[in-house]
Structure 1
């Protein structure tokens, strides 16, 4: 009987048998050795014949250690696992995708990672580019002249090296590029021919110590002085916090800057926990779209400092409309290096008076130093518009949050994903790992894989990994959880199940309302009911513990106790909670009306 992973850190899901061949004898051995040299702990994959050489090298040459294979049931999940891992640790993982078909499967998740600006080394493979070496039929189907072109518009760099020697350089370059800010996935395509050919004699591998990632770019000193003076002179500066590092030290610097300026802080759900959401300077709850409180604060601002804001132009348009903001706009971001023509994830063009093409965290640190000692009082902020919904006899997300809190208490929790409408007022973000942010590209189905990746990253950390997911997101990615069961990754997935693609019901209501048509038909083609999918049953089929559907307070408390106990024992668990879709609709409509949406 296998040992429980929770009691034995040396436990491995798939230990190799027999002797390991330590000689770097084959082309693919070289690629595997480069992954080890780069100190990559895991490689997430779904197997494929185009990289059978590399797969053999990972197992029989490296012994499935450094990196260890993390097997996934779908290429999209393999990429999402690496995405979640990078969000939790700031470190890139390797992913391997089979040929053109595997790349196409994984491309949705690669777009999410691109839009979220996380590092990732994606290895591809192709049938022999030398047509004389191709097997009939399948090698022709799985060979693409320029495979990187399939994802080139949402990767930072790609290459298709023609030999083992060229691949060593390509992997070293790719690793440096993906980890240099602004970070994003890279793609290296490994030809099956040289993977399976003998390694060339005398081949030496690049030394990572001589290819270190450059230091972050710091702001220009003269422009920094100009920005510090403008902020210090401002009567009501406001700070928008976007993407940044997830460390306690950097979070403390962000807070120190706000306290020095007496500035209201706005944080974005898309970026995750960048500052404490219950700090006296924090405005309302972290937003996806601007809240009424955020609009009020922005209306009073005479200077706005954006530190890596995800969509600065969109925020200004929501806050000020066509008239625009008359005060000083200061923005720090390296995003412009990744702006392309195909996608529009560069967002609306924002008016900026002082711009730093520099690291936002380094800019915050330098601003604190430039401003010097002292602190202004916390600003007077508008009262929160969050209210308790009227009792309906059915469960809400606030019920889920309270039940979870009752079981977990003060234990540290990481939320790798939060379903729409999660009450952050009941569960504030206080530490950098409390919430990892959204999925980047809005690719539904990513939540389970991101959760598995975060659980892989945080296993043994003492933090409980809890994801609240929508039913649509879960159903699209449910078999990602099989990987958590196989590798004994403790996580709790709580499904806020309204039995509908409910966000689209709201869109259909809006369209019908504008056209004077019947809003009551919004559910047609949207409802996930009659029959409702058995999400708990699907979770159990992946090897998780699963309870549901949960419909009452008593059932919720019992399910939460069982789920938290399982996670504390090192096992993954899912709870399917049927929430009140009608109440969710009323809250969303009220929220959108107040926000002018």
Structure 2
């Protein structure tokens, strides 16, 4: 990102306002960026970010839609585990962003969301606009799927709430927080910046260490087990944590299952990894889970549903659930999933539990796995052949074989057999709430967080996902964020075609009609033109393997040189069996 980008003209500050103190507090909270779409409810704060802070620390990430602002912060948190700041305009901006907030909640990522309302004092409201942009309890719009919110009524209270929101969002289990500022508080004159709460004196609480007795209980179960299996879910991006997971599994000969909803947690081609990562459990993984005599879930998403799908005999198999997730269970959102049986449930960070178990069995702090990682079978595709999702995966992997790449996102149609993840940043997972339209914004945020990592950020998005969130690409182009987006364009909302096919079969109606109201064609949408219009380098449409291979060579090179790149790859519709079965089974 260019250092001279969006540098404001220097200004001499003579008078101070409440928003100047709010901006200074935001700087002290340490978020390097604040993502926003402008709005009059925080015009005072916007001025302070630009003219009081000089648009640095934090720097504004201008977004073309509020949903993108939240998605960008979500993508950032998936890489770093730390919160960005987001500002949303009044009730209308908050409603625009609500789906993205729900995604972040379901994905358990930290994020400081700030908002504003029109004057709480009705006598100070402008006619019409301030009335429709003022809500009596604005946080109620998203309260069921955030961790904490506040609508403070004074400057001092606003500063305190900002600090509290930062601490709460970074306390495990992590999730977004929201603070709504009164526009009057922002725009009131102040004599001086008040004493600001000190973040260094209000650190996030540490989780209690997992006890020795709890560790011993789990290890006793492992030592007695003949067929243990680890279900590795929401784990950290730390390389040391990754290495310890591998070492622990090898020490006990435990088979490992991962999924594609969450980020890479274990080498997918390790001899102990069973089945293929998916949105639903693969047949091989389900069989291994059913055969296990000990199942340990490490913050696994939907442990109960996975056991049900795998037909686990709970009378025979012991179950250990290591997670903090129950602390966020509420009555509105059902993202807590099916209620899972467990013989031992530990409130602990999953990687902290792995670390404690490794130490207890004598594995070194820097322990690494010893087994060889298998190599994928080379794939052959004719140059003149039309592109399928599998041949897209193979061709992309081939062209990235000598490149350190990070898959930021993969489509619903992606086959787990094509996943070759060997490190914690190789894949960052889905969006939590399965809200279509989140992909572009999250990819931008993750790509921004990966700057300087040596990784080429690559997102493979569906056409529906891309089109709903396409204007997030402008933010990447404007801020010079290098990334490669490959749109697997099947010209359809194909997930719903699969559902319509299931319904037609069940009702003995024509399957041939499944595309009606689903196909994105006649006219086709020029995805490359949409990307190019926003300043991205764009290619396509490409329709054959040979054209895709040539295009990817050029596109990867462009991303490596610092460009935001989009490729429109026309693919044949299709899902792998496990995905189609999991999505449509009653």
Shorter chain as denominator, the TM-score bin is: over 0.9
Name the CA shift for 1:522/1:171 in 2 (closer, same or farther; >3 Å): same
Cα drift, residue 595 of structure 1: 11
* Secondary structure at the counterpart of residue 57 of structure 1: helix
C-alpha contact 1:284 1:293 (8 A) present in aligned 2: yes
Given the two structures, how large is their TM-score scaled by the length of structure 1? 0.93
TM superposition shift of 1:423: 4.5
Corresponding residue to 2:289 among 281, 293, 298: 298
The CA RMSD over aligned residues, in Å, is 2.8
Aligned counterparts of 1:594 and 1:108: Cα–Cα separation in 2: 21
Aligned length: 584
Aligned partners of 1:417 and 1:447 also within 8 Å: yes
Structure 1 residues 7-22: aligned runs within 5 Å? 11-19=3-11, 21=13
Contact 1:20-1:62 within 8 A present in 2 as well: no
Q: Kindly indicate whether residue 387 of structure 2 is the aligned counterpart of residue 398 of structure 1.
A: no
Q: CA deviation at 1:260?
A: 1.2
1:199 alignment partner in structure 2:
190
- CA contact under 8 A between 1:305 and 1:330: conserved in structure 2? yes
Shift of 1:409: 2.9
Give the alignment partner of residue 465 of structure 2, picking from 469, 473, 483. 473
- Which piece of structure 1 moves more, 365-374 or 329-338? 365-374
CA-to-aligned-CA distance 1:506-528 (integer Å, 9 cap, x gap): 11111111222222211111111
- Cα gap change, 1:202/1:471 in structure 2, threshold over 3 Å: closer, same or farther? closer
**CA shift for structure 1 position 591:** 6.1
Counterpart in 2 of 1:79?
A: 70
Instruction: Say whether the 8 Å CA contact 1:262–1:378 is kept in structure 2.
Output: no
The residue that corresponds to 1:428 in the other structure is 420
Matches of 2:87 and 2:355, distance apart in 1: 38
Judge which range, 154-163 or 553-562, deviates more: 553-562
Measure, in 1, the Cα distance between the counterparts of 2:517 and 2:378. 31
Mapped partners of 1:389, 1:460: distance in 2: 34
5 Å-filtered alignment, 1:11-160, equals 11-19=3-11, 21=13, 25-160=16-151
1:341 aligns with 2:354: no
TM-score of the two chains, using structure 2 as the length reference: 0.94
Distance 1:202 1:139 in 2: 27
Spell out, residue by residue over 1:524-551, the C-alpha distance to the aligned partner (whole angstroms, 9 max, x if none): 1111111111111111111111111111
The 3-state SS of whatever aligns with 1:432 is: coil
Separation (CA, whole Å) in 2 of partners of 1:590 and 1:426: 14
Alignment of 1:512-591 (within 5 A): 512-581=504-573, 584-585=574-575, 587-588=576-577
- Per-residue CA shift, 1:374-415, capped at 9, x if unaligned? 99x999xxxx99999999931122322333334333221111
Q: Secondary structure at the match of 1:547?
A: strand
> Residues 481 and 317 of structure 1: is their aligned pair in 2 closer, same or farther, counting only changes over 3 Å?
same
Contact 1:24 1:30 (C-alpha < 8 Å) held by counterparts: no
4+ residue runs over 6 A deviation: 384-392, 593-597
Residues 1:592 and 2:581 aligned together:
yes
Contact 1:396 1:580 in 2 (8 A): yes
Q: For 2:210 and 2:57, locate their aligned partners in 1 and report how far apart those are by CA, in whole Å.
A: 37
- C-alpha contact 1:292 1:594 (8 A) present in aligned 2: no
| Greater CA drift, 348-357 or 510-519 | 510-519
| Contiguous gaps of at least 5 residues in structure 1 | none
Distance change >3 Å, CA 41–CA 373, structure 1 → 2: closer
Q: What displacement does 1:561 show?
A: 1.8
- Distance between the aligned counterparts of 2:377 and 2:504, measured in 1? 28
Verify: 1:464 aligned to 2:422, yes or no: no
Is 1:169 the counterpart of 2:160? The answer is yes
| Structure 2 partner of 1:263 | 254
Distance 2:205 2:282 in 1: 38
- d(CA) in 1 for partners of 2:355 and 2:362? 11
Question: Secondary structure of 2:409's partner?
Answer: coil
State the SS of the aligned residue for 2:434.
Answer: coil
Asked whether the 8 Å contact 1:177–1:186 carries over to 2, the reply is yes
Question: Contact between 1:501 and 1:526, CA under 8 Å: does it hold in 2?
Answer: yes
2:281–2:578 Cα contact (<8 Å) kept: no
Once residues 478 and 190 of structure 1 are traced to their aligned partners in structure 2, the CA distance between those partners, rounded to angstroms, is 30
In the alignment, does 2:381 pair up with 1:415?
Answer: no
Tell me the distance in 2 between the aligned counterparts of 1:194 and 1:504. 47
Cα pair 1:290 1:595 within 8 Å, conserved: no
Question: What is the deviation of 1:254?
Answer: 1.0
Q: 1:509 — aligned with what?
A: 501
Measure, in 2, the Cα distance between the counterparts of 1:408 and 1:301.
36
TM-aligned CA distance change 1:92 to 1:510, over 3 Å: same
Q: Tell me what 1:356 maps to.
A: 346
Deviations 1:4-27 (A, max 9, x none): x5xxx5x23201112353x78211
CA distance in 1 between partners of 2:265 and 2:101 (Å): 24
How far off is 1:590 after superposition? 8.8
Q: Is the 8 A contact 2:406 2:455 kept in 1?
A: yes
Q: Is the 8 A contact 2:283 2:578 kept in 1?
A: no
| Alpha-carbon distance in structure 2 between the residues aligned to 1:389 and 1:409 | 16
Q: Name 1:500's counterpart in structure 2.
A: 492
Q: What are structure 2's unaligned runs of at least 5 residues?
A: none
Distance 1:190 1:594 in 2: 42
